[in-house]
Amino acid sequence: MIKTIIGEVDFLESLRGKSATFILSMASTKTANIDGITQAGIKGLMHLTPILDAEFLCTGAVRSLSNIAETPKGVPTPALITRAVHLLKPYRNIELLNLGVCHTPKVSYFKTYSFELNESGSIDTGAKIDSESVFKKGLDFGQNLNLDSDYLLLAESIPAGTTTAYATAKILGYDADGKFSSSYKDAPAGIKKDIVEKALQNANGAQDIFEKLGCVGDNMLIFNAGLILGAIDKNIKIVLCGGTQMAAVLLIVNSILQEMGGEISSSNLALFTTKWVATDSNSDIKALLEMLDFKINAYYADFDFSTSNHPALKLYDSGEAKEGVGAGGALCYAFLNGVKKADIIEQIESFLKQ
């Protein structure tokens, strides 16, 4: 039910039956307002997607808008998958990181960390992120991280995040072309490439790594690179839940280690994603992970909607949406705890009937 993308199965197996804290990084980049760049939300309201995802994940209802964030074609948010798993086999805790969304989700009782960050700029004109400060906030959070569970599922929700991730990998010198995923089935390679090229041109004068990240990155990427480096020595098992964006977080970690001449023991680090990302012919997450100088374990949940009759869910199988809100990580967590595929599908379908 879970397949290996890269690495050994042992790390995965060591997590069977273990409890997990689910942390959702919510961030926003003005890049999402560029026409045709993302379908992760409602046009003109992309900045609300992470907030709505968090509300639905925590409470089963969206409170900052009347309906669940749907894409123009009606692809429902992957938060449905993450929530369904929570109902069948709850995470030990759900916590939220406000990495620059316009307001905190309207939920009580769920730990929400704020870091005084704002939405970052559109990368075609410059993200304008004080990336060293964001990185340090992540580092500090990681160093002080205390889980009352066995491992961390670290997820993200940030529309247009694959575009900033692509630009970030490129500016750091990685061979990134054609390797980054998209929320579209027919990835808008043209628009995306144009934007990334503009971003790189604008960032031309950037000298060091943090200047570069500040021009073309986003707060999710930079903060979580810090988080990993802060927590890595604390013997906490961290699973990045996401697709090529989370691979980009690892590439940032890799570049920082290269710059500092540092090394890490990555034996407590892994990545979980969906089948839709892992088998996507328009991107190549495995190739991105193979560029790391440290060993990494990555896996995907062998889950699809082939046995569902719901047309909105079928869109996932045809390549829309693919990943987000830790859907792939949630599915792996479910399978690691004996939850059945059929029960997950039934639960997701029940949300769409309401």
Catalog residues that contact a copy of itself under the rule CB under 8 A.
Answer: 8-11, 13-14, 16-18, 58-61, 86-93, 107-110, 267, 336-339
Least Å from the CB of residue 2 to a copy of itself: 10
Instruction: Decide whether 26 or 277 has the Cβ nearer to a copy of itself.
Output: 26
Find the DSSP H helices in the chain. 10-14, 49-59, 79-88, 131-143, 161-171, 189-202, 209-216, 219-231, 244-260, 275-278, 285-290, 311-317, 327-336, 341-353
Instruction: Decide whether 60 or 262 has the Cβ nearer to a copy of itself.
Output: 60
Instruction: Decide whether 80 or 129 has the Cβ nearer to a copy of itself.
Output: 80
- Residue 202's Cβ-side half-sphere holds a number of Cα atoms within 13 Å equal to 20
Least Å from the CB of residue 266 to a copy of itself: 13
Least Å from the CB of residue 51 to a copy of itself: 15
Q: Which residue matches tokens 């990685």?
A: 174
CA–CA distances in Å: residue 232 to residues 47, 145, 221, 259 = 31, 10, 16, 18
Instruction: Decide whether 107 or 165 has the Cβ nearer to a copy of itself.
Output: 107
Instruction: Decide whether 22 or 223 has the Cβ nearer to a copy of itself.
Output: 22
Q: Minimal CA–CA distance to 79: which of 51, 105, 100, 99?
A: 51
Least Å from the CB of residue 235 to a copy of itself: 12
Least Å from the CB of residue 52 to a copy of itself: 16
Least Å from the CB of residue 104 to a copy of itself: 13
Instruction: Decide whether 1 or 189 has the Cβ nearer to a copy of itself.
Output: 1
User: In whole angstroms, what is the distance from residue 134 CA to residue 61 CA?
Assistant: 30
Say if residues 117 and 99 touch (Cβ distance below 8 Å).
yes
Instruction: Decide whether 91 or 180 has the Cβ nearer to a copy of itself.
Output: 91
The pairs formed by 183-189 with CB atoms below 8 angstroms and a separation of 24 or more are 183/38, 183/39, 183/40, 183/71, 183/159, 183/320, 183/321, 183/322, 183/324, 184/38, 184/39, 184/319, 184/320, 185/315, 185/318, 185/319, 185/320, 186/319, 187/282, 187/283, 188/36, 188/37, 189/282
Least Å from the CB of residue 96 to a copy of itself: 12
Least Å from the CB of residue 17 to a copy of itself: 2
Instruction: Decide whether 65 or 88 has the Cβ nearer to a copy of itself.
Output: 88
